Amino acid sequence: MAGILPVVLIFLLFLNKWRLPVVFFLAGFVWAGLFADHQLSKSLPQELAGKNIIVEGFVEGLPVREGRVVRFNFNVFRSEPVEGRQIRGRIRVSDYRRDAIDPQPGEAWRLLLRVKPPHGFANPAGFDYEKWLFSQRIVATAYIRKNKANSPKVNHRLPDLDRSAVIDRMRLHIADQIRNSLPDSSFRGIITALATGDRRAISSKQWSVLQITGTSHLMAISGLHIGLVAGIAFFLFRFLFAAVPQLPLWVPSHTVATVAAMFCAAFYSFMAGFSLPTQRALLMLTVLMVAIILQRRVRGLDSLSLTLLLVLILDPLSILSAGFWLSFAAVAMILYILQQRSHRNDWTESSLFKAVNMQWKLSLMMAPATLLFFQQIPLSGPMANLVAIPVVAFLIVPLVLLASLSFLLLGAGFVEQTLFRLAELVLQLLWTLLESLAMTTEALPFSVEHSVTALAGIGFAVLVLVLPAGLKIRKLALVGLLAFFFPLHDELREGEFRMILLDVGQGLSAVIMTGRHALLFDTGARFSKGFNAGDAVVLPVLKALSINRLDTLIVSHGDNDHIGGVRNVLAGVEVKEVISNEVISGTHTTPCRAGLQWQWEGVSFRILHPGVEGTTTGNNASCVLQVQSSFASILLSADIEKEGEKEIILRYPYTLRANILIAGHHGSNTSSSDDFIDAVSPGLVLFPAGWMNRYHHPAKKVLYRLKTRQIKSRITGKCGAISVRVTEAGISAQSWRQSNRKIWDLSEFNRSCGKVAIGLSETPPF
């Protein structure tokens, strides 16, 4: 800032008209920078990673229970110092113990925690957990350690320090009552989301239907629902107040109705946990309601701009949310559409036509933003929303609200249960339509790799189409559509291939692509009933790469960290052939045996292990794959250990060399023996190992073996996904964290995750 200041002063001196905008821009830049720096300064230092710390704090928000695992946000106000440091702020806590605690909102506890800095998977696509932690002001993640000494000092309540959490307790009681009223309903998660804003109980299958039909924005409390509640409250209270003739003489009916509407909207916002979408809606509503009270006319654009300013002042980190951009963009588009007036007096003036016109125009105008954030366009979105918006807004939401209000005022009973069941019945009928649309129409996939030309093309096409028809330039939209459907990008030529070793934690999954084919080697782990690497990482990456069909899926062996996500992958993408020695129900598999080989676009694939006799078991029965072209080769050794490595060396004494080796068993000392490393003689070794994993992979001895041979190495847990590109010009390997640095990435791994370029070396033919 000190270096920029003189330039800014000169700029302000000579450009009078731009002084105010520049001052505002600098003020915003400094405010956002201070806000982000304050949050980063509170994050757990790297040197405290893996330490046990005793903390005192209180439970924030709604805890979630998955089986016997409990997760909740814990706001720490006091901690015992470790290495002269203390922790303050919000920690994301998990309790895996058999005697897990039952935390309630507002309760104060003293806990013994094993802490880690914020960290998540880093891949070209998929949920960015680190970004979410940063935006939620979470300074560390942790799990509760067992109190082995049975000391009364840790893992116990501090009732004298409890905090008031009336709203959160109310939300929790409503969620529990919905569970009791609809014990066997598959729509319980959606109704809970509409009542409390908690969307965690919505199943992945339901989310898939909502995303394909473009209706996911309706299934949680958002600006639409806040506006609906405020509108109903406004007209209801104005009618009731005006029904008594004397009252409007003292206070205008619209003033009372406005205040009542604001209270109702605020209450519903707090019921939703005062999430970012509800904050935006409430701020915009406040601007409009104040204008009504003051009897001033406020333009829609002014209201939107003032709301945007207030949101960014209160929370600059809100720009990290896709909902921030989508919601403000949607309101801006609606305002633009409403400004377009028709002077004809025909059927186009009907309410039905206006609704249809609004919906398809809004879907068209929001297409670039939808592509950017979700890598797809829901083709059935306009039709689905045309039916779903009025049904959800005028039937389901009022029923859910009345049921919740009945429970809060009258307690559990016939009225509340009947209303919840009516809401479920209406949702069931709507869901039949949404499922039919999801089955008949697919979402148009989009590759982030093509974003520069394709996104610019669709953006240009939409801009031309929404401009006034009188300009007569709409035919130019064809140019943008051509750029979208036929983007310019580098094609893999004959003999070239690409591999992405995905960051799936303590597991293995790799995508290998040639010019016209794609192979997936392993699918990562299944971490819990509702979370697995197949859904969380593999499928989003495949979609981002525009891979709609896998030619081959290889499952190396039956360990969870390799096969855990296979069912989800098979359900989410078409697979032509599965190669594995494991039994995968409902799927025909080709046995993985040494000697099996094929070729795609000048790139050869060969199975090296296990042998045809099939006598090996356990990790040593893993499939080992060699990928080779005239330019370079890669060896994927799965989980083989020293015994398996010896067999491979004896079987292929002269053709085992590879430029890049995917280390066996995640870098365990039971693998990557001296003889095997010498036989393969790689220039780069990649370790598919989780960050701070409990096995301490890769082992120090293995890293030492590589160091003595001056072989470079990269670890997915530290560096994120690693992309390897083999071309005629050479081999390049680049990590996702290094090439996509983010302000919230606190990892200090720049030197150990840098780009690697390997010169060509002769590789012997098969």
Whether residues 117 and 234 share a domain: the answer is: no
Are 535 and 615 in the same domain? yes
- Facing residues of 633 across strands? 628
* Total number of residues shown for the chain: 766
Does 74 lie in the same domain as 13?
A: no
User: Is residue 74 in some structural domain?
Assistant: yes
The answer to whether position 729 is within a domain reads yes
174 within domain boundaries: no
672 shares a domain with 582? yes
Strand partners, 140: 91
Question: Among the three residues 485, 510, 531, which one is the final residue of a domain in this structure?
Answer: 485
Beta bridge partners of residue 60, listed in sequence order: 73
- Do 27 and 125 lie in a common domain? no
* Burial category of 107 from C-beta neighbours within 10 Å (exposed 0-12, middle 13-18, buried 19 and up): buried
Same domain, 55 and 35: no
Where in the sequence is the domain holding 306, given as residue range(s)? 227-340
The C-alpha atoms of residue 181 and residue 705 are separated, in whole angstroms, by 62
- Residues 233, 105, single domain; the answer is no
| CA–CA dist 365, 375 (Å, integer) | 16
Helices and strands counted in the chain (H then E)? 28, 26
pTM confidence score:
0.87
Residue 615 lies in a domain: yes
Distance in angstroms (rounded) separating the CA atoms of residues 319 and 332: 16
Q: Does residue 192 fall inside a structural domain?
A: no
- Is 105 in the same domain as 239? no
Taking the C-alpha atoms of residue 415 and residue 399, their distance in angstroms, rounded to an integer, is 11
CA angle 441, 447, 452 (to 5 degrees): 125
Looking at the fold, whether 632 and 726 belong to one and the same domain comes out as yes
Gyration radius from the chain CA atoms? 29
Q: Are strands 138-144 and 156-157 parallel, antiparallel or unpaired?
A: unpaired
* 352 within a domain of the structure (yes/no): no
Domain's final residue, options 318, 340, 362: 340
Domain count, the chain: 5
Residues 715 and 630 in one domain: yes
Report the distance separating Cα 131 and Cα 638, nearest Å.
31
CA nearest to 123, candidates 525, 539, 487, 490: 539
**Which pLDDT does position 116 carry in this prediction?**
93
Do 117 and 138 lie in one domain? The reply is yes
Distance CA 177, CA 225 (A): 21
CA dihedral 459, 460, 462, 465 (to 10 degrees): 170
Which of 560, 502, 665 lies closest to 121 in space, CA to CA?
Answer: 502
Select from 299, 319, 340 the last residue of a domain: 340
Query: Smallest Cα–Cα separation from 504: which of 744, 697, 689, 687?
Result: 689
10-residue averages of pLDDT along the chain (766 residues): 71 72 82 90 88 94 86 94 86 92 93 93 92 92 84 85 88 90 90 86 85 81 77 87 83 87 87 75 82 79 85 88 82 79 58 72 79 77 85 88 88 90 94 89 61 77 80 82 74 93 97 96 92 93 88 96 95 94 91 95 96 83 96 95 94 92 96 95 96 93 96 94 93 92 74 79 44
Are β-strands 510-513 and 518-521 bridged in parallel, bridged antiparallel, or unpaired?
A: antiparallel
Residue 442 within a domain: no
Q: Would 594 be classed as within a structural domain?
A: yes
What does the block give as tokens for 408? 């809060």
Q: Are residues 567 and 649 in the same domain?
A: yes
Beta strands in 344-449 (DSSP E): 376-378, 443-445
Pairing of strands 660-662, 684-687: parallel
